[in-house]
Chains A and B, each alone.
Chain A
Amino acid sequence: MRLTDLPLRQPAYVDLIDWSVLTPSEGQRLREFGLCEGASVEALHHGGIFGKGPIACKIGRMTVAMRRNHAAAVTVRTGPEQEA
């Protein structure tokens, strides 16, 4: 499931990140925010009146805002934690 489809406030883990859809600097910034395979994520808020706005999500302890096209590059899985 993509991060964009993850129901709000349901804890999940990052399964896979498609770095190829991100520019190198965007990829780096997301990595610096702690985004990596195995990181815990939780979608908190979807912005935008027409559902096209950014997404606020929790990565580890940090809350981060990103656009949907970036969030769509992140595949997540719900269920028990695995080695990060």
Chain B
Amino acid sequence: MSALPLVALVGNPNAGKSALFNALTGARQKLGNYPGVTVERKAGRLALSDGRPVELVDLPGTYSLDPGSPDEQVTRDVVMGKQAGEKRPDALVIVVDAANLDNHLRFALELLALGLPTIVALNMVDLATRDGLELDAAVLARELGVPVISTVAVRKRGLDHLRQELEGLLNGAPRAYPTGAAQDFDAVRKEAGRIARATIVRETPSRRLTAAVDRVALHPVFGLILLLGLLFVMFQAVYAWSEAPIAMIEGFAEAIANAVRTALPDGIFRSFLVDGIINGVGSVVVFLPQILILFFFILMLEATGYMVRAAFLMDGLMAKVGLSGRAFIPLLSSFACAIPGIMATRTIADPRDRLTTILIAPLMTCSARLPVYAVIIGAFIPARDVLPGVGLQGFVLFCLYLAGIVGAMLVAMLLRMTVTKGASGGFLMEMPKYQWPRPQDILLGLWQRAVIFLKRAGTIIFTSTVILWLLLSFPRVPDGDPTSQVDHSIAGRIASGLNVVLEPIGFNRDISLALIPAMAAREVAVSALATVYSIDAGDDEALLERSLGDRLKDQWPLPTALAFLAWFIFAPQCISTIAVTRRETNGWKWPLFMVGYLFALAYVAAGITYWTATALGLG
């Protein structure tokens, strides 16, 4: 337990708590223009002007101290001092949205009644002004009996003032705060309404951007077309925009590999550098541009406020499979990675809805699968336009993502009829106003993703690839023995054993070899194949010149490649997802169930794809 003064940021969802937290502590908590971005408590340090450090905690937003979902529970526990291993906050900073005062003040009054030293941050005054509201913070301060500071968290406005007041609050003599008697909900609401009316000096009707955009975005037909169109453009862009940067990285990696080949004598160490590191890890790093393009779109969807609109549009369909539109938000986030997606299910109130969503989250195509898809599509799908401006490769990628979504919906329906049977929760969600994202926020988000990806490449992908290289390189084939190094190696022998099971669905030994290390991270499937073919090529200059895609095209029949893609739609292997599922469901039962059903589906889907493609004579 820390001895520092503890200050908690509390308030309604989407009030700007995390933005304020970042501005005050220099942290880089995720922001997003939809309720339920923050799902766990997060602590940071803030220095007062006398240098004294204060511990600031950012909390999930909630509408009252009566939690409706697991994330809101955390806020209640921290504020009430019930959080294990943490003292009760010494002070609160209540963040209220100036443009939604009546509503946010009701919760603020509920918090004030706790009697803790408090400051109110009247945030988003810029948006209130946009809506034609003019507010008087002094009136609000008088009515509430606590300091009120106008802030614009994302523009760092009002922060010095806030810090000053906080200092005064923590240094000053303890003063008595009115501990309100437990008040009736309606009485508090009326009081909040009265204070809000007193605070609003002027209200000029203004053009409402949000309502105008929503006429299209929420339209039953055009809205759906827009949503599908957005996803479609996203996948086209992943190919169309990435060609040049990928060629650059590839050229760079090749230059290094060649330099190493000329500089070092042939031997085990050179093989390690070239086959293992440059070709192995490099084969994954090449996909950085595509991953960043994907993230660019996801960040834009999150920052503009479109996420909730997507949830609104999808609610009808989600209801048919026994879920609610709310679940669509964690699922969309799972396009980035299933782990934050699974954590985001904490915002789902109904436990069965939540469990179902957790179980299907791995079916959403995470960005780690992108390199796998991209390598196979690049090798086997010709880069031509099916329609003017619509590339075939992007279209196939779109279909793979769609297959994941459709698969997830079908599985949800089955789960809802069996293991998570029961009435489903409803769909109740606040819809934020649209905001134009600030370029620096998007750039920062992309930068963070790039760092995460490169770290992954440098640690987990690197380690798995090195281990695989070792297992592929030993024992060495004796000189003069005609068997290949890969066949002779430990890894090759294990893979041959595994291949007995995977052969019926069209997988060759190299795929079996790639699937095991891909447990650590799915991208490793790509680096593993690169390493295998790099070692296989030995000294053959002609082979070394060929890219991984070309090698695959030479060696794999088309049905095998398609089966491999189908396998990765379900791709059960990812240890981190299993671990987070265990944590979020408190036990091994559900993660094991999840892995089991995913393996079964992956096997069947790959099998059907292979057999159908073979029957159609595509081999």
Binding site for B on A (CB under 8 A): 23, 25-26, 28-34, 36, 44-54, 56, 60-67, 69-70, 84
B428 touches A26 (CB 8 A): yes
A47 touches B316 (CB 8 A): yes
Among A32, A61, A62, the one with the most B-chain Cβ atoms within 10 Å of its Cβ is A32
B66 CB, min distance to chain A CBs, angstroms: 6
Top 4 A-B pairs ranked by shortest CB distance?
Answer: A32-B63, A45-B218, A53-B316, A63-B431
With A and B bound together, what is the CA distance between A30 and B103 in angstroms? Answer: 12
A-chain residues with CB within 8 Å of residue B322 when the two chains form the complex: none
B-chain residues with CB within 8 Å of residue A70 when the two chains form the complex: 426, 428
Q: Confirm or deny: B185 has a beta carbon within 8 angstroms of a beta carbon on chain A.
A: yes
With A and B bound together, what is the CA distance between A52 and B102 in angstroms? Answer: 31
**Which of A48, A50, A61, A66 is B428 in contact with, Cβ under 8 Å?**
A66
A54 touches B211 (CB 8 A): no
A52 touches B64 (CB 8 A): no
Task: Please name 29 pairs of A and B residues whose Cβ atoms are closer than 8 Å in the assembled complex, sorted by A.
Answer: A25-B349, A26-B426, A30-B428, A31-B185, A31-B189, A32-B63, A32-B64, A32-B106, A34-B102, A47-B218, A47-B313, A48-B220, A49-B221, A52-B316, A53-B313, A54-B325, A54-B427, A56-B214, A56-B312, A60-B102, A61-B100, A62-B430, A63-B431, A65-B308, A65-B312, A65-B325, A65-B430, A67-B319, A67-B428
A-chain residues with CB within 8 Å of residue B215 when the two chains form the complex: 45
| Residue of A whose beta carbon sits closest to that of B221 | A49
B316 touches A60 (CB 8 A): no
Q: Confirm or deny: B331 has a beta carbon within 8 angstroms of a beta carbon on chain A.
A: no
Instruction: Encode contact with A along B306-338: 1 for CB under 8 Å, 0 otherwise.
Output: 001001110110010000010000000000000
A64 touches B429 (CB 8 A): yes
B-chain residues with CB within 8 Å of residue A51 when the two chains form the complex: 220
| Residue of A whose beta carbon sits closest to that of B432 | A63
B-chain residues with CB within 8 Å of residue A44 when the two chains form the complex: 211, 214, 218
A-chain residues with CB within 8 Å of residue B219 when the two chains form the complex: 45
Main secondary structure of the interface of B (DSSP, over half): helix
B190 touches A25 (CB 8 A): no
A33 touches B211 (CB 8 A): no
B428 touches A49 (CB 8 A): no
A61 touches B218 (CB 8 A): no
Q: Confirm or deny: B224 has a beta carbon within 8 angstroms of a beta carbon on chain A.
A: yes
**Which of B220, B313, B430 is A63 in contact with, Cβ under 8 Å?**
B430
B427 touches A67 (CB 8 A): yes
Q: Confirm or deny: B539 has a beta carbon within 8 angstroms of a beta carbon on chain A.
A: no
Q: Confirm or deny: B391 has a beta carbon within 8 angstroms of a beta carbon on chain A.
A: no
With A and B bound together, what is the CA distance between A53 and B427 in angstroms? Answer: 10
| Residue of A whose beta carbon sits closest to that of B12 | A32
With A and B bound together, what is the CA distance between A25 and B190 in angstroms? Answer: 21
A45 touches B315 (CB 8 A): no
**Which of A26, A28, A34, A67 is B189 in contact with, Cβ under 8 Å?**
A34
**Which of B210, B220, B426 is A46 in contact with, Cβ under 8 Å?**
B220
Instruction: Encode contact with A along B407-440: 1 for CB under 8 Å, 0 otherwise.
Output: 0000000000000000000111111010000000
B-chain residues with CB within 8 Å of residue A67 when the two chains form the complex: 315, 319, 426-428
B-chain residues with CB within 8 Å of residue A26 when the two chains form the complex: 426, 428
